[in-house]
Amino acid sequence: MRGSTITLAMAAVLLAGGCQKASDAVFDARVRAYLLQHPEVIEEAVNKLNENKARDEAAKARDAIARSRDAIERDPRDFVANPNGKITVTEFYDYNCTYCKAAAPQILALIAANPDVRFVFKEYPIFGGDSDRAAALALAAKSRGKYLALYQQFFAAKAHLDLPEMERVMVTQGLDPAAMERDGSSDAIRKHLSDTHDLAGRLGINGTPSFVIDGALLAGADIEALKRAITEARRKA
């Protein structure tokens, strides 16, 4: 029955979208009458279409991840926590993303509690302006051993992370804001950020936070889903 109802629903869509012969009018009327009596059929068909779309998008993401695995997990320019971990998680984030801010303390706790999880930090500023500057400064802090400290404190900003707040954080960490600005504007760091944006585009990432683990893409700040994915990856390892 389910297959036949979906077929009728799809037939109705086709009939609505094209020309019909006069002889098709009776069939059209019957389909219309059936759908009016059973509107749940349309919902069922739409849900099925959405399921198929989600499945296709997940498959495309897996293919893209497989082709870009080294760039996702092994770019030496990225900061990595627990570098000897056997399971790799990569996060794409923006310091002015509200959801990223909420997730950051949980991410740090996850890293501390799971030394077997190798965590790759991908600076992916999507809001421009201050977000671009913050990402560049964080990357400049990597060579000074202050990356994780800036990640934590940049995300701890209660409101929008602007330049005065970034400078305040850098000073508290013993960093010279002028030197950091100079290094953050280098061609190397601009290229790094540009490469990350290109990578995100290939993966179909258009929002933050986004995570890649075990060949799959997880969009959004669902830390419980991330933990489940880690458990599953650990089981496979």
pLDDT in tens, 40-85: 877 787 877 777 766 666 677 788 899 999 999 999 999 999 999 9
pLDDT of 16 strictly over 70? no
pLDDT digit string, tens, across residues 161-174: 999 999 999 999 99
Contacts 24+ apart (CB under 8 A), 222-229: 223/103, 223/106, 223/107, 223/110, 226/89, 226/110, 227/110
| C-alpha to C-alpha distance for 117 and 85, rounded to whole angstroms | 5
Dihedral over Cα of 57, 59, 62, 63: its sign:
negative
Query: Do both 83 and 167 map to the same domain?
Result: yes
| pLDDT at position 38 | 79
Average pLDDT over residues 134-145: 98
* pLDDT for position 2: 47
Which tokens sit at 73? 């997990």
> Could you tell me if 45 and 88 lie in one domain?
no
Q: Which domain holds residue 145?
A: 69-236
Percent of the chain with pLDDT over 90: 70
Per-residue confidence (pLDDT) for residue 28, from 0 to 100: 77
* Claim to verify: residue 50 and residue 77 sit in the same structural domain: no
Instruction: Name the band, by pLDDT with cuts 50, 70 and 90, for residue 98.
Output: very high
If asked whether residues 51 and 75 sit together in one domain, one would say no
At which residue do the structure tokens 């293919």 appear? 63
Q: What is the mean pLDDT of the chain?
A: 89
| pTM given for the model | 0.77
* Of 155, 134, 143, 118, nearest in space to 233 by CA: 118
Is 64 inside a domain boundary? no
Answer whether residue 7 is part of any domain: yes
